[in-house]
Structure 1
Amino acid sequence: METFLKNLSISVLAEILENAFQWFVVVDEFSNILYINEEYCRFLEVERKEAIGKPVAEVIENTKMHEVIKSGIAHIASPHYIKGTYMLANRVPLVVEGKIVGAFGSVIFRDMSDWKKLSSHVRTTMERIQLNMEDNSYKDYYLGDIKGTSAAVRKIKETIEIIAPSDIPVLIEGESGTGKEIFAHSIHQLSERSNEPFVKVNCAAVPPELLEEELFGKYDLATGKFSRGRYKQADKGTLFIDEISALPLTLQAKLLRALQDGTVFTAHAEKEEQVDVRILASSNVSLANLVEEKKFREDLFYRIQAVTLQIPPLRERLEDLDELLNYFLQKFVVQAGRRKIVLATKTREILQSYHWPGNVRELQNVLQAAVYLAENDIIEPSALPIQVKKRNALSFNTNGKLEDILIEVERRVIQDLLESQSNKATIAKQLGISRSTLYEKIKKYNL
């Protein structure tokens, strides 16, 4: 072994560390990074030259390298939550002549699907984590999971931090696909009820005739037993009523009584029970408009909207798009077990110009499919759905001076025509300009 190590050149060692199916980091006794391989840097979205010398905590979230250095105890197959997923990490103290001089860390497996191939010890660890997720699904979502730095998103996050510790009801309004449920989870996670149940009922997903039993429980005449409804299951915790606009008027009255009295009558029974819940509700349509149309009770509306969060559609916060693209791309790359996938420049431009009627949910679906369709680790425009490649003409930014807007419209129109038509004479005729003028504009816009 000693002979082998002596004959192992630095270049060969570097090649091994760079190409092994693991991510490596080495820190000194002060937890500053001495070495990190390129694959790990790509995943973390940092430049290696910038990472070297930095405290490891500034580069790797939730790192525990400093604990290993302090205790001298290795962490083997330790679950590490990073970038939205659990991974397995080894952290080992580096000891020279009886003194800890640093630590070595490696990430072995990139996603939970790979854990099924591990030993029974690791499988048990995975099962415990998954069970905890299932029993406490709200722990999957934190305020930090709400991506974006636009003014609208920052304001919502600030509001959540202020109202979360209280018990006041919150109404979350926004188009379908804007991520209203994540905002609800975040409120609960930051509240005093965070260790209690987070229970969700989707009023639009349950048939109206079954919704009362779903919410308030059922009395079984055959057995004489009560089954707890969602309202009772959320006792001491938070009840998230998703798409409350679909709640029938008769049940709106019962919900209002439950909120006012702090009690519920189980469906088909006369048993009254005390229940302490915090209500969070969501709607993809304006409840205020439904109140005016007599389709939603005014008294219930005022009861549940002490605070209203208006979640903007993605097309109104396109400054957040790059962050969302990078976040979801990395997430789906890890889930797919791929080592590296990037967006082609043209693909990113198409995604940035699309108007996203399905909002963040549509963005996730498009990227997830594109990751599996990608060839040679690059997502080309061909991997995108037709409706995305067509791009809505109204997707350009309307902020700014009219002259700048018109220039952007002209550039976009010419670019779209060039993508669908190779004959420039035909394009010029369609636009009503000469070919020489078209060539000038192509040069002007670098198309």
Structure 2
Amino acid sequence: MDNFQQHLPTSVLAEILENAFQWFVVVDADSKILYINEDYCRFLEVTREEAIGKPVADIIENTKMHEVIKSGVPDNASPHYIKGTYMLANRVPLFVDGKIVGAFGSVIFRDMSDWKRLSSHVRTTMERMQLNIEDNSYTEYRLEDIKGSSPAIRKIKETTGIIAPSDLPVLIEGESGTGKDMFAHSIHQLSERSDFPFVKVNCAEVPVELLERELFGVYNPLTETVQNGRVKQADKGTLYIDEISALPLTLQAKLLRAMQEEEITPLNSEQSEKVNIRIVASSNISLSQLIEEKKFREDLYYRLQAITLKIPPLRERMEDFVDLLNFFLQKFMLHAGRRHITLATKTRELLQSYHWPGNVRELQNILQAAVYLAEKDTIMPSALPSQIKLSNVPSFQTTGTLEDILAEVEKKVLQSYLEEESDKRQIAKQLGLSRSTLYEKIKKHNL
């Protein structure tokens, strides 16, 4: 402390004191003012000369500085009514050699509305953090995270940028693994609700008997409290309903009410609650088809489908494949701590000729595993799962007896594996055969 005082002039220390807090005061053991900053004086409509040396109670109405000096106990975040408004103040006793020599008081919020605004922000942030903890799948995505420059993807990204700032509901359709979640997150991030919660619920993952409680909350008559559901948790933000096609008809009616009347009724309750949410829904099944099958409400569908984003499967936008391949390869190399990994020519050919039924998610998962299975700095075909290699097995004739056809298929599969992998132990493992059985089949087909 001595060193601190030696290196800083008195004028600098005074500047620090004046700006360290909005308003503050220091009093001695007799509750007389030793120091008070200029901002506080202006608010109190007194000069510093008039205040210093006076009993603090004569200058600051309803002060508790004398009580802190008497008790020796800090009084933190305490409401203080002064000049017609409530403030929040801290009051701390000052000790020297174990003896109280005075007290320090500071205003931390000049009016309760300041506190309420911060409290609301903190509460919203904490709720969002809690949602992230409860839902480990939560990851923030932005539009620029969506890779691809094909005409279809460019058009969808352009549409997303246009409609995101509105409060209109959005329906995202596409096969599993096409990246519907990423577009839902992007819509939220580009909206005016981005500072409020993004809450996701997957209707296909929650048991039907628990789905109403999960979405709309439940009233506990014993404690007379409501445990909020996902709809209420998303208040002022975005509710992302994944796989909305799995939502039962009875709950579709409650969701429609939440959208139209901005009201929900928790389970076991007769009391409605107001909500302000934006709905983004996704489905890997055509909702119009479900309407024909009487499994989806037509009125809810028309409420949702005004803005529909149809995400194409990977096989229909293979011009994006190289971009996606390179992006995931670099990402997983970094995660694995590998500096340089390349794809063998045959590996690249196999990946590009595969039909990708699991879409972008399947590509991501396969490349993540392949990076760890890479031999030295090269991903060989042996690092790929069998379905990709089998998809490249040459065609065969379907004439003849079933035994002849199966024998030809077996030979073609063995030929394909032997061309890509020299280690027969690995081939046997991938095909689920013992090594002796593999050798018998190789001999049988003169391979």
> TM exceeds 0.5?
yes
Q: d(CA) in 1 for partners of 2:394 and 2:415?
A: 18
**Unpaired runs of 5+ in structure 1?**
1-127, 396-414, 423-447
SS in structure 1 of the partner of residue 279 of structure 2: strand
Say whether the 8 Å CA contact 1:147–1:324 is kept in structure 2.
yes
Q: Aligned residues, how many?
A: 275
Say whether the 8 Å CA contact 2:350–2:392 is kept in structure 1.
no
Q: d(CA) in 2 for partners of 1:247 and 1:394?
A: 43
Q: d(CA) in 2 for partners of 1:132 and 1:219?
A: 21
1:100-133 per-residue CA deviation (whole Å, 9 max, x = no partner) reads xxxxxxxxxxxxxxxxxxxxxxxxxxxx9x9799
Q: What's 1:364 paired with?
A: 364
Q: CA deviation at 1:420?
A: 5.0
Q: What's 2:221 paired with?
A: 221
1:11-39 per-residue CA deviation (whole Å, 9 max, x = no partner) reads xxxxxxxxxxxxxxxxxxxxxxxxxxxxx
SS in structure 1 of the partner of residue 339 of structure 2: coil
Q: d(CA) in 1 for partners of 2:132 and 2:340?
A: 30
SS in structure 2 of the partner of residue 279 of structure 1: strand
Q: What's 2:114 paired with?
A: none
Say whether the 8 Å CA contact 1:215–1:230 is kept in structure 2.
yes
User: Which amino acid counterpart does residue 208 of structure 2 have in structure 1?
Assistant: P
Q: d(CA) in 1 for partners of 2:394 and 2:294?
A: 34
Q: d(CA) in 1 for partners of 2:220 and 2:355?
A: 50
Structure 1 pair 132/263, CA: closer, same or farther in 2 (3 Å)?
closer
Q: What's 1:144 paired with?
A: 144
Structure 1 pair 284/392, CA: closer, same or farther in 2 (3 Å)?
farther
Q: d(CA) in 2 for partners of 1:236 and 1:138?
A: 18
Q: What's 1:301 paired with?
A: 301
Question: Whose Rg is larger?
Answer: 2
Q: d(CA) in 2 for partners of 1:200 and 1:157?
A: 21
Q: What's 1:380 paired with?
A: 380
1:155 equivalent to 2:150? Answer: no
Q: CA deviation at 1:337?
A: 1.6
SS in structure 2 of the partner of residue 200 of structure 1: strand
Q: d(CA) in 1 for partners of 2:152 and 2:182?
A: 16
1:306-362 per-residue CA deviation (whole Å, 9 max, x = no partner) reads 101100000101111111010011111111122221111111111000000011111
Q: d(CA) in 2 for partners of 1:316 and 1:162?
A: 24
Q: What's 1:208 paired with?
A: 208
Q: CA deviation at 1:138?
A: 6.9
Q: What's 1:343 paired with?
A: 343
Q: CA deviation at 1:194?
A: 0.9
Q: What's 1:266 paired with?
A: 266
Say whether the 8 Å CA contact 1:173–1:310 is kept in structure 2.
yes
Q: d(CA) in 2 for partners of 1:163 and 1:416?
A: 50
Q: CA deviation at 1:222?
A: 2.8
Q: What's 1:71 paired with?
A: none
Say whether the 8 Å CA contact 1:344–1:379 is kept in structure 2.
yes
Q: What's 2:323 paired with?
A: 323
Q: d(CA) in 2 for partners of 1:420 and 1:367?
A: 20
1:169-193 per-residue CA deviation (whole Å, 9 max, x = no partner) reads 1000000111101010001111111
User: Which amino acid counterpart does residue 276 of structure 1 have in structure 2?
Assistant: N
Structure 1 pair 168/317, CA: closer, same or farther in 2 (3 Å)?
same
Q: d(CA) in 2 for partners of 1:202 and 1:362?
A: 19
Q: d(CA) in 2 for partners of 1:373 and 1:417?
A: 22
User: Which amino acid counterpart does residue 374 of structure 1 have in structure 2?
Assistant: A
1:229-260 per-residue CA deviation (whole Å, 9 max, x = no partner) reads 00001111000000000000010111111111
Q: d(CA) in 2 for partners of 1:223 and 1:179?
A: 42
After the TM superposition, which residues 14-413 of structure 1 pair with which residues of structure 2 at under 5 Å, given as runs? 134=132, 140-391=140-391
Q: If the length of structure 1 is used for normalisation, what is the TM-score?
A: 0.58
Say whether the 8 Å CA contact 2:171–2:281 is kept in structure 1.
yes
Q: d(CA) in 1 for partners of 2:266 and 2:130?
A: 29
RMSD of aligned residue pairs (Cα, Å): 2.6
Q: d(CA) in 1 for partners of 2:379 and 2:272?
A: 58
Say whether the 8 Å CA contact 1:355–1:392 is kept in structure 2.
no
Question: How much identity, in percent, do the aligned residues show?
Answer: 68
